[in-house]
Amino acid sequence: MTAFAPPAARVRRPTVRGGRSGVTWMALPALLMFVAFGLIPLVGVLLLSFTTWNGIGAIHPSGLTSWRNALSDPELPHALWVTFEIMAISWLVQTPISILIGVFLAAFKRYRGFLAVLYFIPLLLSSAAISITFKALIDPNFGIGAGLGLSVLKQNWLGEPKLAIGVLIFIVSWQYIPFHSLIYQGAVRQIPATLYEASKLDGAGTIRQFFWITLPQIKYTIITSSTLMVVGSLTFFDLIYVLTGGGPGDSTRALALEMYQKGFMANLMGPASAIAMILVLVGLILAQLLRRLGGRGDESQLEGV
């Protein structure tokens, strides 16, 4: 422990002049990593989308052929729709539940702290492990329904398109609600207690407090959490791949899966790269839109407190 420099030495260092250059310098490692593992591959994919390549032979530049191929494929709008469907429904399901659990866990009570730890467990498991487990559980022939003899649970969960989407969203929610609850828990704890005390004096009950104080106060957290959900749902791959492989038929084939199938199963790296670029664009646009939705970031939420 004594090997570390005492914190006091660090506090002394940044002077007013040195402070700024220190900050720029600190961004450098992250920037390097981002350029090496984010930007360079992205440029590579952009270039690949203007070529024809089967993944094993030589790469031939072919202009817009791959883009035309990707955009004229009827699977693309379908995959976009599936992606949007999963995104919208999982947001609608996750947000209210996460906020409620977050508010519930925010109160400083010991049993709730214990519950918070329990809630957190699904987040510690990998998506692939979760998919395999759920797949085994809901198997109509060997799963929990057959085991307990409950015909309600013996549905063809992953064989009917609507049920399959439902199962997918259930598992996504099961996995990520703990994470978003944690964010909301932190946000709710940041709200000054004086706001609640004042409203209590004015005669507001728990429900009014929730809608008029808690919700407006965690507005930015809602936007952050929604951005994570929406952009995150664009990249669901492992979960869907293991659970349904995009099936039944193409009912759960989201954009990421469509890209994989084009690139690595059909050996069409050009069109797959074009789909990847579309995925990047959609993600950027959505993230920007959500930022706009949040309004100006400099307005105060604590005016008059």
Please give the residue ranges that form the binding site for other proteins (CB under 8 A). 5, 9, 13, 25, 28-29, 32-33, 35-37, 40, 54-58, 135, 139-142, 154, 156-159, 161, 164, 243-245, 247-251, 261, 264-268
Minimum distance from CB of 262 to other proteins (Å)? 8
Minimum distance from CB of 190 to other proteins (Å)? 33
3-class SS of residue 60: strand
Cis omega before residue 248 (within 30°)? yes
Question: 40-43 contacts: CB < 8 A, separation 24 or more?
Answer: 42/280
Minimum distance from CB of 74 to other proteins (Å)? 10
Q: Given its phi and psi angles, is residue 277 left (phi above 0), alpha (psi -120 to 50 degrees) or beta?
A: alpha
Minimum distance from CB of 235 to other proteins (Å)? 18
Q: Which is nearer to other proteins, 126 or 267 (CB)?
A: 267
Residue type, 194: T
Minimum distance from CB of 142 to other proteins (Å)? 7
Minimum distance from CB of 273 to other proteins (Å)? 13
Q: Which is nearer to other proteins, 30 or 201 (CB)?
A: 30
User: What count of residues does the chain have?
Assistant: 305
* C-alpha pair distances (Å), 162 with each of 82, 165, 168, 252: 11, 5, 10, 9
- Contact of 131 with 171, CB cutoff 8 Å: yes
Positive or negative torsion for Cα 250, 277, 29, 186: negative
Q: Which is nearer to other proteins, 38 or 192 (CB)?
A: 38
For the chain, give percent helix, strand, coil, nearest 5.
75, 0, 25
Q: How far apart are CA 242 and CA 299, in angstroms?
A: 44
Q: How far apart are CA 115 and CA 131, in angstroms?
A: 24
Q: Which is nearer to other proteins, 40 or 284 (CB)?
A: 40
Q: Which is nearer to other proteins, 57 or 297 (CB)?
A: 57
Neighbours of 266 (CB within 10 A): 13
Q: Which is nearer to other proteins, 85 or 139 (CB)?
A: 139
Q: How far apart are CA 244 and CA 234, in angstroms?
A: 17
Tokens of 102: 């977050």
Q: Which is nearer to other proteins, 218 or 269 (CB)?
A: 269
* C-alpha pair distances (Å), 55 with each of 58, 78, 93: 8, 25, 39
Minimum distance from CB of 188 to other proteins (Å)? 38
Minimum distance from CB of 175 to other proteins (Å)? 19
3-class SS of residue 47: helix
Q: Which is nearer to other proteins, 10 or 296 (CB)?
A: 10
